[in-house]
Amino acid sequence: MVFRKLMAAFGAGVEVDTVLSNASVRPGEPLRGVVHFRGGGSDYKVEAITVDLTAVVEVESGDSEYKTTYSFLRQQVSGPLQLAAKAEHRQPFEIPVPWETPISAIGGHPLRGMRLGVHTELALAGALDKGDLDPLFVNPLPAQDHVLAALDRLGFRFKKADLERGTLHGSTMPFFQEIEYYAGGSWRRHFNELELTFIAGPRQMDVILEADQRDGFLRAGQDTYNRFTVRHDEHPAGVDQALQRGLESMARRRGWF
């Protein structure tokens, strides 16, 4: 463990460290960890300990873009307690990871372009410290895995992923994820690129596809959309069929399918 020092009121140092028991989780699962802290040179009252799940989000402003941090879950894991001088204390916690939490790792590997994390905030009398960002790796739900694997089989090649500010229909998040692909296989006849977004809930999820279509005769390229729903208990073959129908529907609008 690596303790960081919080200099509380009157210069009394309190050292804090947060250890996640399962830094790799799926949406809907509990995130567990322990906040360790040591008292400083005098007794102190800890007013509250709060865990904050955050994400780095891209924001468009006019012709420019910038990145900012958004909190998408904030939960108090401890109320007031007394911390004696030099004493050590540990506070376990367990918080639910929201179903709509974006994916930040696939197959045990970080997803390029994504940054999620956990901040632990310790409130002392006269001091407030949010601490460092502990990385959080969120793996796909099984149904999401099926969609991602199907796109691989169809020849789509991963480009990048990011979070965009905004709230989509059916979502409660202040941002949404876009997983971007280069079109591959036979789909290159229809699309340049494909963007994939998930909106997950406890029983099912919506899959949103946005395709950047190729230029055609007497018609400039443009984006087309498709949205369909998949149950979490759906058979993988059903997920494949829903994805295929969604892609075919977008291609059909060009009159080439």
What string of pLDDT tens digits covers the 257 residues of the chain?
444 444 444 345 777 788 888 888 999 999 999 988 887 777 878 888 899 999 999 888 777 788 889 999 999 998 888 888 888 888 999 999 999 999 999 988 999 999 999 988 888 765 666 666 788 999 999 999 999 999 999 999 999 999 999 999 999 999 999 999 999 888 988 889 999 999 999 999 999 999 986 554 334 445 789 999 999 999 999 999 999 999 999 988 655 44
All structural domains of the chain with their residue ranges = 4-138, 142-252
CA of 74: how far to CAs of 28, 46, 52, in Å? Answer: 15, 18, 4
62: helix, strand or coil: coil
pTM, two decimals, is: 0.85
Spatial neighbors of 78 by CB under 8 A, at least 6 apart, are 35, 46, 48, 49, 91, 93
CATH of domain 4-138: 2.60.40.640
